[in-house]
Chains A and B, each alone.
Chain A
Amino acid sequence: MSGSKEILKHLRAEELDPDGGPLIGWTCTYLPLEILEAGGLHPCRILPEPSSDGADAYLDPNFCPLVKTALGAALEGAYASLEGLVILNTCDGMRRLYDAWKHYCPPSFTFFLDLPRNITPRSLSYFRDTLENFKKTVEGHFHIRITRSDLVQALEESNEIRALFRRLLILKGRGDPPLSQGDILDVFFQGWRLPKRRFREALREMVDQLEKEPPRPSQGPKVVVTGSFLEGRAVIDLVEELGGDVAGSDLCTGGRLIQEVSPSSDPLAALSEAYLTRPPCARMQDMERRISFIMGEVQEKGARGVIFHALKFCDPYLYEAPALGEALRQIGIPFLFIEGDYRGRVSGGARTRVQAFLEMLEGYEP
């Protein structure tokens, strides 16, 4: 086992520090965590274990399985240690998760953060004001003061982590480092769980270690995996197990904001702009921007195909898939759509389809 693997293993096993500040659950990567961190709070992403399904009695059968699993876990007490919960206006599912969570098992602090779908000067300014309101509410509830310099410091610390992620992904781009794409997603998962400073040190150590390790030649056809929320790494592992090389990913459980964010004179305005204009997820309005981002990823990574993974009943992604598939096929990139149900496994049907897709890519020249 390589050094980097060891570090990742230790990170996975690491328990949360009870003195690391009040734990605040959050759901969507459009949330600028810097605001919470600047206040000494410990944001921790809601990533429920795939086995929970206790919310079937509370939410409709044709409803997002992630949302149902998260609510089920909350009802079973899995998030009892949370002192607060921040849910974003990401989608219909998250809106209703907020309502149900608040109704059935409310933490002492809940906040619903609005999120525009358009990117315009007006929406940037509105989101900035919304963040300010969020900051004030957090300050009021937790009896803290978040100053400009607290925000700047939190931003700079996040920038250090983003720089490490960029180094990590460059390693992935130069060939196949000892870490697989599944491991890289795991690193992101740990980053959403552990205190930032502890995570930053571990990530630095891991990247330093990886840079010393020789690149391995790429095996099998390169693909980009895009889509919504992956419960763990089963889909990525399957592609790699079947001989594919996941050269890049664009997922709600991957890194969509890894560019440096300049604090500027108004850190909240800087956060508003950085988060709203980052590579978009399907809930944003501008589908063309997302399509061109994915096409850029495909070209940059030299991928031969794209696998699109959507959770069942996830309307933003279900509606986007045909348009993205068409756009990719027009430039000669095959596209495979698979659905997941947040059960932590890949169905037999999906396995067969991934296998056939990779076999087809083997002999395919775009």
Chain B
Amino acid sequence: MNLKNGNRGFIRGLVHRPLTYRVLRPLLDLLTLREENQAFRIWIHFILEVTRKAYGRKGPVVWMNAFTPTEMVYGLGAVPFMPEIIASLVAYMGQSRRPIALADSRVSTDVCSFYRCALGLVLEGYLPKPDLILSTSYLCDGANKFFHDLSRIYGCPHLMLDPPYNDDPQGRRYMVGQIRDAAEEMTRILGLSWNHEALARALVLSNQARRYMVGINKLRRAAPSPFPGSEGLSYLAGMNFYSLGSSMGLTFYGYLHQELKRRVARNRGYLPQEVYRILWLHHIRPYYRNDIFDFLGRQKAAVSFEEPNYLYWPYLDPHKPWEALAEKILSNIWAGPLERRIRAIEQIVEDYGIDGVIHFSHWGCRQSCGGAGVIGDRLKDKGIPYIILPGDGADPDNYSPGQTRTRVQALVEMLG
């Protein structure tokens, strides 16, 4: 879509108005009236709600990256905002080309397109200004540098949690100390104070959501696969990053659990016919229009599970919130030794009866794709067909349908 400058200014104005999100909610409810999966509608409500609060400044706005525990921000009564999730939504709506092109005037085209898309949105003034940026230095170098660069652009404070590589007593102590320091700084910067009951409540909500997640993941072991991987990689993964610690997050997981129970009880798979079960590795997929999942479906290959929905963290003790959040951060299988991630993948392969594995190799994602060779070797040793699928999650100009289809076809042939 080509917009003139005037139109763009008008749209930017609409994006910034909290009323827009109030108006959008009944409209989107109407459009999704026939959607059986109520969780999908809750997700829409959630996104509209957090976005409305961020633009309406219903509390200090804290920008965060995926994997920074949102429980901290909900527990403080601030409003979380995740530019990575917004970038994927913009790509989903087919609008990522322009912000990516804008960002390319500032940063190399070799860095992650989600950050380039978010940067372009920042440069054009589409996003709500942060009062604070709270990020973790994992999973990637890009996250660390991108968020710090944003704090320079906005002139706002940046607190960075830097998880140690090893989850050992020394690392734990260091991580807990960093969280305590950041928590204290957050109150100073935002002019808020910690209400320990509210923080404990955020952890309780997160635990309750986690209990549903355990159930959802168990239900997803069923054959045929009750839930499409394309959705597991979009709104479900998005809610894992964005909603934990909020009451809407809990509602979402409750509805999704109910829905999957219903589907499994009826022996209802998401494909008309399922012959192969695929595991998708990497947290993202291409969000712009593409035919990867439809093509797999036509080959009777269901994406039965996706890596970002692997539940890696334990119950969070609400009486020891900083220790619990440190444990959550340090148990992340995508940080720390690759061996831990491989063990989790092997477990998923076993639990979900996986026939073949696709490692999506997102352009610019060194941390994940750098391990793809070793992961592949380990899976091939176990006789699991495996392909690396190069692509781009946010930039449609970096998507090659022919090459993608050839690779996916090769996997299907290996399965046959």
Contact = CB atoms under 8 A, between A and B. Distances in A.
B181 A62 contact: no
Interface stretch (B10-18, B142-150, B271-279): B142-150
Q: Which 6 A-B pairs have the closest CB atoms?
A: A96-B370, A319-B145, A92-B366, A60-B369, A99-B338, A315-B141
Interface in B135-168: 137, 140-142, 144-146, 148-149, 152, 160, 162, 164-166
Contacts of A323: 149, 152
Contacts of B374: 58, 99-100, 103-104
Contact of A92 (B141, B162, B390): B141
B145 A316 contact: yes
B107 interface: yes
A157 B364 CA distance: 42
A316 B141 contact: yes
A64 interface: yes
Contacts of A320: 145
Given A117-B144, A315-B142, A89 B165 contact: yes
A299 interface: no
B177 interface: yes
A219 interface: no
Nearest to B109: A318
Contacts of A118: 160, 162
Interface in A222-239: none
Interface string A57-84: 1111111100100000000000000000
B303 interface: no
Nearest to B142: A315
B106 A96 contact: no
B178 interface: yes
Interface of A: 57-64, 67, 89, 91-93, 95-96, 99-100, 103-104, 112, 114, 116-118, 120, 122-123, 126, 129-130, 133, 282-283, 285, 287, 312-313, 315-316, 318-323, 339
A280 to B, nearest CB: 13
Interface residues of B, number: 44
Contacts of A61: 390
B140 A92 contact: yes
Given A62-B110, A62-B366, A287 B373 contact: no
Contact of A117 (B108, B160, B366, B371): B160
A117 B136 CA distance: 11
A321 B105 CA distance: 12
B141 A60 contact: no
Nearest to B139: A92
A122 B180 CA distance: 11
Nearest to B160: A285
A61 B152 CA distance: 31
Contacts of A57: 373
Given A96-B371, A103-B374, A322 B107 contact: yes
B313 interface: no
A145 to B, nearest CB: 22
26 contacts: A59-B373, A60-B370, A61-B390, A62-B366, A92-B140, A92-B366, A92-B370, A99-B337, A99-B338, A99-B370, A99-B371, A104-B374, A112-B165, A112-B337, A114-B164, A114-B165, A114-B166, A126-B170, A283-B141, A285-B162, A315-B111, A316-B145, A318-B107, A318-B108, A319-B111, A322-B106
B84 to A, nearest CB: 15
Contacts of B240: none
Nearest to A96: B370
A146 to B, nearest CB: 19
B293 interface: no
Given A59-B370, A92-B367, A130 B170 contact: yes
Nearest to A291: B152
Given A99-B370, A122-B174, A287-B148, 17 more contacts: A59-B370, A60-B373, A92-B140, A95-B370, A96-B367, A112-B165, A114-B166, A116-B162, A118-B160, A118-B162, A123-B174, A126-B173, A315-B364, A318-B107, A318-B110, A319-B146, A322-B149
